[in-house]
Structure 1
Amino acid sequence: MADPVPFRPVQAGSQPPLDLPAYLSTAHRHPKAAPVLIPATLTEASAPRFDPAWYAPHGDLSMVEGRAAIGERIIVAGRVSDENGRPVAGAMVEIWQANAAGRYHHPRDQHDAPLDPNFLGRGRVFTDADGRYRFTTIRPGAYPWRNPGPGWRPQHIHFGLHGTGFAQRLVTQMYFPGDPLLAFDAIFQGSGDEAARQRLVAALDPALMVPDHALGYRFDIVLRGRAATPFESA
Structure 2
Amino acid sequence: MITISKISKRNKIDIEGSSPWIDMSYVDWSCITKDYTPKGYKKHEVIYHQQDNPDCVYLVKKGRVRLDIYGFNGEKRSLFIAEAGTFFGELSTIDEMPNMCSATAATYSIVYSIPKTRFIEELSKNYEFSFSILKMMSKKIRLITTQIKQLSFNDSNYRVCYALTSLANQYGSKTPEGYYKLNIKFTHQEMASLTGLSRVSVSNILLNLASKGIIDKDEGFVIIIDMNRLSNYLLEN
TM range (shorter): under 0.3
TM-score (norm 1): 0.26
The structure, 1 or 2, with the larger RCO (C-alpha pairs under 8 Å, 6+ apart) is 1
